[in-house]
Chains A and B, each alone.
Chain A
Amino acid sequence: MSQSRTTILWLLAFPVCLLTAFFVMPLSVVLISSFTSGEGQFTFGQYGRILLDSYHWDVILVTFRLAVLSTLICVLLGYPLAWYLVRIVKWRSWRRACVILLILPLFTSNIVRSFGWMILLGRTGLVNEFLVSFGFVDRPLRFLGTETGILIGLVYILLPFMVLTIGNALAKVDPALEQASRDLGAGSARTFFSITFPLTAHGVLAGGIIVFSMAISAYVTPALLSGGKVTVLAMLAFQQYSTVFDFNYGGALSITLLVFTIALIGIASWLAKPRTPELEGK
């Protein structure tokens, strides 16, 4: 009896140590330093600096706008793509090729891919050349240094996560359910909104949370594509840590980002919670 208890304790000790070392400790350090003044005293001052200053609110707004928009665009692009891969492609090798193409960029560095977009989106880049030569626009558009440019980069980098999560959910929906819906008189749009989408909503939510949290904490892509003209919260925090060496203020920025993110994800999950409508007697 006592022996099995020690075994359990040992078994528990391992994950507890792991979680402490990798998750609790770093976060605690940041949390504590965010409540510390430059002289080592406890203070709310760091948060005061952030929340009482309209500049910071602007940065927070830009950060969230970019994250929310890239999540939405990823859903809108990712769902059809996942649908294509799971439902339309019949030829196995082609599907495999598509999935590899989708995943392959994830193995290369984020920095390289963002630089790639800098070249593509530049004034004389491929995108502008294409737009101008086909007469879509008169003059080259300015992408670099705008939120649009950052958005394009973020969507490109985060789309695979969305496609894979939605595709995974979609693959688990038995096509017979959609056929049953058609058989019972529903058109294809009604079938999608009544059957397919509700049954894959958890995948969309999971993909949304992944993409949103990666977009909101993204540093490399916004930093490279902003050209210094757009600032997101992660860039501000990085500045404090790397150039100003103000760990307390930087920590407070990180914690602010974390709190806002958790709040938004919490709200989104609550909204998306499946609520089976209570059927009354009649």
Chain B
Amino acid sequence: MPSGPPLPTAGTAKSPTDPMTLLAISNLSKTFGTFKALDNVSLDINQGEFISLLGPSGCGKTTLLRLIGGFLSPTSGRIAIGGEDVSALPPNRRPLNTVFQNYALFPHMTVLENVAYGPRRAGCSRAEAEKKALEALEMVGLAAMAKRSPKAMSGGQQQRVSLARAVVNRPKLLLLDEPLSALDLQLRKRMQLELKQLQMQLGITFIFVTHDQDEAMAMSDRIAVMSSGRIEQVDEAASIYRRPKTRFVADFIGEANFVPVTGDRRELDLSQEARGVLRPEALRIFTRAEDIPEGWLSLSGQVTAITYVGGLSNVYLKAGDLELHARRYRAPPQGVSEGAQVLACFDPAEVHILGA
């Protein structure tokens, strides 16, 4: 995987004093022994934004979150929240809260006491703290369970309690560390929507760590794709999908064919390195040359495998050294079977050339 030179931040030209910028991370690095967990990362996050840190395990996304939360101290670099440098502040003095991966609910306290813990520390009286806690529990629909022990609740309920506990003090910034990873698929989908709604309702900035690209794409305003301690690309989901900056991003977000399309005229040149990204849904399979639309490029190849799942068909083929994958929302075309010689065709306008 090419790591390349450090990429510019966020793509947008924002000065550090931009009033919309809530969190400014500049040149942040974290080294564990000789391992560079985070390598000179810079990122600006706006007020009210929902941003996801997305990447495979070990890419540094959790390290970045823990640095923002104050549970790790950076080797070098600076973190500012609302213009104030918080790099040296302990977690309890940072204006943010965290939803932990395994919820981290206090087992010796009731649900209400758990949620009231934050307001109590912020100086509220017991009665006031409990009133706020009940409101927060109301918001996640669990006010009726206030007196229960968190140990006696389901995973989804514990998740809601930890969410209520994290937002009860109305932080400027909420960090979420893979909060949905322990839930089953159905519940996860529902919680994704609820989280997004809650975020819009409260207007709190969310930084959401996940390794699940669908989750990131479904919820985020922007996604920061990370790999080996660096941010590869920060952008809206659709832009990242359409115009990935690196081969890693193209491969990690959705699936990608790499085709040797070059130049402004977008011609196929099989002698060149495959730097053109073509999404599987843009690749079509034909059996006869006369069916190919005008202006399209074609490669001839042999079908190696076909799958047909739930209205979605995938055709995998080999064209010379290239491995290609075509997808469409119906059954595979007539006459296409394993071992068949076919034409893989695409509109050159659909190709995104890396580094262009």
Q: Which B residues are in CB contact (< 8 Å) with A174?
A: 102, 104
Q: Which A residues are in CB contact (< 8 Å) with B113?
A: 279
B165 touches A176 (CB 8 A): no
* A176 CA to B71 CA, complexed, in Å: 10
* A65 CA to B18 CA, complexed, in Å: 67
Question: In the complex, how many angstroms separate the beta carbon of A184 from the nearest chain B beta carbon?
Answer: 4
Q: Provided the pairs A185-B92, A185-B169, A190-B121 are in contact, do residues A282 and B130 lie with their beta carbons within 8 angstroms?
A: yes
* A274 CA to B71 CA, complexed, in Å: 30
Indicate if A182 sits at the interface (CB-CB under 8 A).
yes
A276 touches B110 (CB 8 A): yes
Indicate if B107 sits at the interface (CB-CB under 8 A).
yes
Which chain A residues numbered 242 to 282 have a C-beta less than 8 Å away from chain B? Answer: 274, 276, 279, 282
Indicate if A19 sits at the interface (CB-CB under 8 A).
no
Residue among B100, B102, B169 facing the most chain A CB atoms (10 A cut-off): B100
What residue in chain A is nearest B112 (Cβ atoms)? A279
B100 touches A179 (CB 8 A): yes
A183 touches B130 (CB 8 A): no
Question: In the complex, how many angstroms separate the beta carbon of B138 from the nearest chain A beta carbon?
Answer: 14
Indicate if B50 sits at the interface (CB-CB under 8 A).
no
Indicate if B74 sits at the interface (CB-CB under 8 A).
no
Q: Which B residues are in CB contact (< 8 Å) with A194?
A: 117
Indicate if A131 sits at the interface (CB-CB under 8 A).
no
B71 touches A179 (CB 8 A): yes
Q: Provided the pairs A179-B91, A279-B113 are in contact, do residues A185 and B121 lie with their beta carbons within 8 angstroms?
A: yes
Interface size class of chain B, counting residues whose CB lies under 8 Å from the partner chain: 20 to 34
Indicate if B220 sits at the interface (CB-CB under 8 A).
no
Q: Provided the pairs A182-B92, A186-B121 are in contact, do residues A198 and B71 lie with their beta carbons within 8 angstroms?
A: no
From A176, A186, A188, A282, contact of B100 by CB (8 A): A176
What residue in chain A is nearest B107 (Cβ atoms)? A199
What residue in chain A is nearest B177 (Cβ atoms)? A176
B92 touches A198 (CB 8 A): no
Question: In the complex, how many angstroms separate the beta carbon of A187 from the nearest chain B beta carbon?
Answer: 6
Q: Which B residues are in CB contact (< 8 Å) with A199?
A: 107-108
Question: In the complex, how many angstroms separate the beta carbon of A25 from the nearest chain B beta carbon?
Answer: 42
Which chain B residues numbered 327 to 346 have a C-beta less than 8 Å away from chain A? Answer: none
Which chain B residues numbered 92 to 138 have a C-beta less than 8 Å away from chain A? Answer: 92, 97-98, 100-102, 104-108, 110, 112-113, 117-118, 121-122, 127, 130-131
Q: Which B residues are in CB contact (< 8 Å) with A152?
A: none
Q: Which A residues are in CB contact (< 8 Å) with B102?
A: 174, 176
Indicate if A213 sits at the interface (CB-CB under 8 A).
no
Q: Which B residues are in CB contact (< 8 Å) with A86?
A: none
Question: In the complex, how many angstroms separate the beta carbon of A49 from the nearest chain B beta carbon?
Answer: 48
Which chain A residues numbered 146 to 191 have a C-beta less than 8 Å away from chain B? Answer: 174, 176-177, 179-188, 190
A184 touches B118 (CB 8 A): yes
* A187 CA to B120 CA, complexed, in Å: 12
* A276 CA to B91 CA, complexed, in Å: 28
Indicate if A220 sits at the interface (CB-CB under 8 A).
no
Indicate if B147 sits at the interface (CB-CB under 8 A).
yes
From A184, A190, A195, A279, contact of B97 by CB (8 A): A184
A180 touches B106 (CB 8 A): yes
A179 touches B104 (CB 8 A): yes
Indicate if B348 sits at the interface (CB-CB under 8 A).
no
Q: Which B residues are in CB contact (< 8 Å) with A182?
A: 70-71, 90-92
* A276 CA to B109 CA, complexed, in Å: 7
Question: In the complex, how many angstroms separate the beta carbon of B282 from the nearest chain A beta carbon?
Answer: 44
Q: Which A residues are in CB contact (< 8 Å) with B121?
A: 184-186, 190
Q: Which B residues are in CB contact (< 8 Å) with A186?
A: 92, 117, 121
* A182 CA to B93 CA, complexed, in Å: 9
* A182 CA to B71 CA, complexed, in Å: 9
* A279 CA to B100 CA, complexed, in Å: 26
* A181 CA to B97 CA, complexed, in Å: 10
Listed by A's residue number, 23 A-B pairs whose Cβ atoms lie within 8 Å are A174-B102, A176-B101, A176-B102, A177-B104, A179-B91, A179-B104, A180-B100, A180-B104, A180-B105, A180-B106, A181-B106, A182-B70, A182-B92, A184-B92, A184-B117, A185-B169, A194-B117, A199-B107, A274-B108, A276-B110, A279-B110, A279-B112, A279-B147
Residues of B that sit less than 8 Å from A by CB: 69-71, 90-92, 97-98, 100-102, 104-108, 110, 112-113, 117-118, 121-122, 127, 130-131, 146-147, 165-166, 169
Residues of A that sit less than 8 Å from B by CB: 174, 176-177, 179-188, 190, 194-195, 198-199, 274, 276, 279, 282
Q: Which 4 A-B pairs have CB atoms at the shortest separation, nearest pair first? A: A185-B121, A176-B104, A180-B104, A184-B118
